[in-house]
Chain A
Amino acid sequence: MSMPREESLLEVRDLGKYFGRTVGCESVSFDLWPGEVLGVVGESGSGKSTLLKCLSAQTAPDRGIVRYRLRDEDLCDVHALSEARQRMLMRTDWGIVHQNPRDGLRFGISAGANVGERLIAVGARHYGNIRTEVTDWLQRVEMEQSRMDDLPGTFSGGMQQRLQIARNLVTQPRLVFMDEPTSGLDVSVQARLLDLIRTLVGTLRIACIVVTHDLGVVRLLTHRLMVMRGGRVVEQGLTDQVLDDPQHPYTQLLVSSILPV
């Protein structure tokens, strides 16, 4: 866990999103520091996915502000950036790992091209160098190099998630959003993937916001935790603290409903 001596990477204030009269999320405020992994838990409909979409500039919020510290140290209002700069941010300094690999990968191009695309997008024009870097990243996510030119559709679900991670991390982002990155996978595959994410995120000091309904994922991966219900944050704190000594009745219910990790 990082010390708040540094400047924050992301500042969120009073964020709200509504669908007609339905609350998507409301009154969400928090800071995120470089290298910090924040978990957002709640059952489906709690607003955690809406929150993630607002934070990652995929949806415009109805109120509140999301500020991100660019590499030049300036804090910018993410939603006030031009579309060009938002798109640039998304393919350089940010990463998004989707729950469904179809949303995060291009299934019409090879695994290697999926990873290489982000390098090309930021200007890489040497085929050999791109190949080398892609090979390196496939190794880091423990994928077989021999499958580099195969289409993503030929991989298992777990491998597709690894590929998504490689595609996101190849440009060395400072902030990665993850939406239920391990759901839909077998338990043993999940465990290995979580271990991999933890190692990579730790060594590269990447800040992460992980949305999940799975307290096991939270326990393994995150430093800090927000519990959401009905679009609002009902409790937040250090992950171990919240899980071991939940204060809010809803958190207590959540924690008691799972087997001890």
Chain B
Amino acid sequence: MYVAVKGGERAIENAHKLLAEERRGDPATPEIALSQIDEQLSLAVDRVMTEGSLYDRALAALAIKQARGDLIEAIFLLRAYRTTLTRFGASDPIDTAKMTIRRRISATYKDLPGGQVLGPTFDYTHRLLDFSLADEAAPALAAEVPAEPGSAMPRVADLLNQEGLIEEEAPGEDAAVGDVTRNAMTLPANRDVRLQLLARGDEGFVLALGYSTQRGYGRNHPFAGEIRLGEVAVEFTPPELGFPVTIGEITVTECQMINQFKGSAERPPQFTRGYGISFGHCERKTMAMANVDRALRADDLGEEVTAPAQDEEFVLYHCDNVEASGFVQHLKLPHYVDFQSELDIVRRLRADFEARRTGEAAE
């Protein structure tokens, strides 16, 4: 006698318990503290904050812990929390020209006002496993305290702009900036919406697309005009006050890519921009984002749209890893009703086929 499978409730309860156990691992190993994640896995925290669209190191650390280090899962957790938060208003645009710089490099000028500041980077490390780190009491290295960075660190794009060599950034319209977390995207999307989606977009996806533009799929001849990392003040203008008040400070990475543009009948040849930004230190992401941003401007600049990275619908609809991960993994859910329909039709078609063949053989 067959008894239909029951007990979804209990199965879920049990799965949750197993998950909790796995997350904790061997109880003999001390539990990881949020401050450890924040301090020692800080780049993971940065990525989760960026793609989770929420600047909160402690919550991001908690999400990483709860997700057992699965960053996309952590991003998902953070997003699901963020969506419940009350929206007080939008801050004023941050001014990255006033950033307290920790790292600032330009690939287009050997030297420039404010100089090149290498800062904390993997760039010139040799990728050799450092076995001394396996030792839990690895000695801390004291970094040389940098000389007080030059007070003036103008942005490279602004320097080019003085000569008119680079396009003016289109002045912001008075219309409110789009918000992809509150409104469905409409196409064609404006640049504000595109940049938001790319900033939240999956690092791997954006990286691959940015890479593809460098391999001939929508060439845009990028130069890393400037990458800067540091702290900026966040200002908010309460309507009842009418003037901005500083409400905090955040770390951001910003990348301005400079790209060739041949000019057109209406516009003289000049450099064009691709822009990338992230919370914390996500340099790879911001550079790739800048490449993709520039590629997506192909249509605006009258360039032929041929490559995936230039295809707004393709890029914007597929860059979000929370959406992508959910939908790919929903294939785990039962589909047996639909599959039953498919079984039914395949059987019928096979029967038709057999009948036809026997019929033909009989003739």
The reply to whether A and B meet directly (CB within 8 Å) is: yes
Residues of A that sit less than 8 Å from B by CB: 20-21
- Smallest CB-CB separation from B266: which chain A residue? A20
Question: In the assembled complex, which residues on chain B have CB atoms less than 8 Å from the CB atom of A21?
Answer: 265
Question: In the assembled complex, which residues on chain A have CB atoms less than 8 Å from the CB atom of B264?
Answer: 20
A-B contacts, 3 of them at CB < 8 A, read A20-B264, A20-B265, A21-B265
CA distance A163 to B10 in the complex (A): 62
Question: In the assembled complex, which residues on chain A have CB atoms less than 8 Å from the CB atom of B265?
Answer: 20-21
- Smallest CB-CB separation from B265: which chain A residue? A20
Residues of B that sit less than 8 Å from A by CB: 264-265
CA distance A21 to B266 in the complex (A): 11
Give A165 Cβ to nearest chain B Cβ, in Å.
30
Chain A contact residues, majority secondary structure: loop
CA distance A21 to B265 in the complex (A): 8
- Smallest CB-CB separation from A22: which chain B residue? B265
CA distance A20 to B264 in the complex (A): 9
Give A17 Cβ to nearest chain B Cβ, in Å.
15
- Smallest CB-CB separation from B264: which chain A residue? A20
CA distance A21 to B264 in the complex (A): 11
- Smallest CB-CB separation from A19: which chain B residue? B265
Give B268 Cβ to nearest chain A Cβ, in Å.
14
CA distance A50 to B265 in the complex (A): 20
Give A149 Cβ to nearest chain B Cβ, in Å.
15
Question: In the assembled complex, which residues on chain B have CB atoms less than 8 Å from the CB atom of A20?
Answer: 264-265
Give A13 Cβ to nearest chain B Cβ, in Å.
27
Give B26 Cβ to nearest chain A Cβ, in Å.
55
- Smallest CB-CB separation from A21: which chain B residue? B265
- Smallest CB-CB separation from A20: which chain B residue? B265
Give B2 Cβ to nearest chain A Cβ, in Å.
42
Q: Which 3 A-B pairs have the closest CB atoms?
A: A20-B265, A21-B265, A20-B264
Give B353 Cβ to nearest chain A Cβ, in Å.
15
Give A228 Cβ to nearest chain B Cβ, in Å.
24
CA distance A20 to B266 in the complex (A): 9
CA distance A143 to B173 in the complex (A): 59
Give A226 Cβ to nearest chain B Cβ, in Å.
29
Give B45 Cβ to nearest chain A Cβ, in Å.
47
CA distance A20 to B265 in the complex (A): 6
Give B279 Cβ to nearest chain A Cβ, in Å.
43
Give A24 Cβ to nearest chain B Cβ, in Å.
14
CA distance A198 to B265 in the complex (A): 44
Give B72 Cβ to nearest chain A Cβ, in Å.
34
Give A62 Cβ to nearest chain B Cβ, in Å.
14
Give A184 Cβ to nearest chain B Cβ, in Å.
23
Give A63 Cβ to nearest chain B Cβ, in Å.
18
Give B23 Cβ to nearest chain A Cβ, in Å.
48
Give A22 Cβ to nearest chain B Cβ, in Å.
9
CA distance A142 to B265 in the complex (A): 50
Give A241 Cβ to nearest chain B Cβ, in Å.
40
CA distance A20 to B302 in the complex (A): 12
Give B311 Cβ to nearest chain A Cβ, in Å.
19
CA distance A103 to B354 in the complex (A): 39
Give B352 Cβ to nearest chain A Cβ, in Å.
16
CA distance A174 to B149 in the complex (A): 77
Give B198 Cβ to nearest chain A Cβ, in Å.
31
Give B173 Cβ to nearest chain A Cβ, in Å.
27
CA distance A55 to B265 in the complex (A): 26
Give B303 Cβ to nearest chain A Cβ, in Å.
15
